[in-house]
Homo-oligomer: A and B are copies of this chain.
Amino acid sequence: MKIALFVYEGFTALDIVGPYEVLASLPNADVVFVGEQRGPVTAHTQRLTLNADAAIDEVPEADVLVVPGGPGQRDLMADGPLHDWIRQIDTGSKWTTSVCTGSLILAATGLLKGRTATSHWLALEELRRYDVTPTLERVVFQDKYVTAAGVSSGIDMALALTAKIAGDATAQTIQLMIEYDPQPPFDAGSPTKAPAEIVENLRDRSRFLLEPKA
């Protein structure tokens, strides 16, 4: 099972490493990090560099595609070779997925048109520009399209996807292997749960991140 994990300058590392850690343990997983070109790709903090082992033109098909989010997403919204590649992968994929603002990239390719999807809570309303109905759910399955909410939600998405691909026992085994028994010290991981002041503060500080660049 070929699993293409897309990476780009300014991606958010946990968006893709969460799903990677789960999906790489699928039986017969053939996981590859794919960039627009081969070579080092730097996350949005400028402190983590991960290697793209293949370029998009070297990966003509995949069973599963994962598109992560991150501030760099804003540079990938214009139609062109990357969008063509995503649409090409999608023609043969069993699952086309995203984490965080990766759903905005999928939406911009047209693949989510008329569907319901999620994204980082700060970016959710942006989906409407592409005729996509936003929902604050953490993981959204719509036929073969799976979108996950912000950053850490990719772990939940990948486990749910693993259950669909390989059954509940495999998903539970991987969950146990990565000891995913979350015990966050606060109940602040969603805008519906965090203190209102913190939600508003973050919304104000992050406004610039939502202005499309392309």
Contacts and interface: CB of A to CB of B under 8 A. Distances in A.
Interface of A: 12-14, 17-18, 20-21, 24-25, 31-33, 40, 45, 47-51, 53, 100, 120-121, 138-139, 149-153, 155-156, 159-160, 163, 168-169, 171-173, 175-191, 193-195, 198-199, 201-202, 206
20 contacts: A13-B17, A14-B21, A17-B17, A20-B45, A24-B47, A32-B47, A49-B50, A149-B179, A150-B179, A151-B179, A152-B155, A156-B184, A159-B185, A172-B186, A176-B191, A177-B206, A179-B190, A180-B184, A181-B190, A181-B193
Contacts of A149: 179, 181
A137 to B, nearest CB: 9
A160 B172 contact: no
A33 B45 CA distance: 12
Given A24-B47, A149-B179, A172-B198, 12 more contacts: A24-B45, A24-B48, A49-B53, A138-B181, A149-B181, A153-B179, A153-B181, A159-B185, A160-B185, A168-B186, A176-B198, A178-B189
B47 A49 contact: no
Number of copies: 2
A180 B151 contact: yes
B21 A12 contact: yes
B179 A156 contact: no
Nearest to A157: B185
Max chain B C-beta neighbours (<10 A), residue from A53, A169, A181: A181
A25 B161 CA distance: 29
A186 B198 contact: no
Ranked nearest first, the 10 interchain pairs of A and B with the lowest CB-CB distance are A150-B179, A181-B189, A182-B182, A172-B188, A14-B21, A151-B178, A49-B51, A181-B190, A180-B189, A17-B17
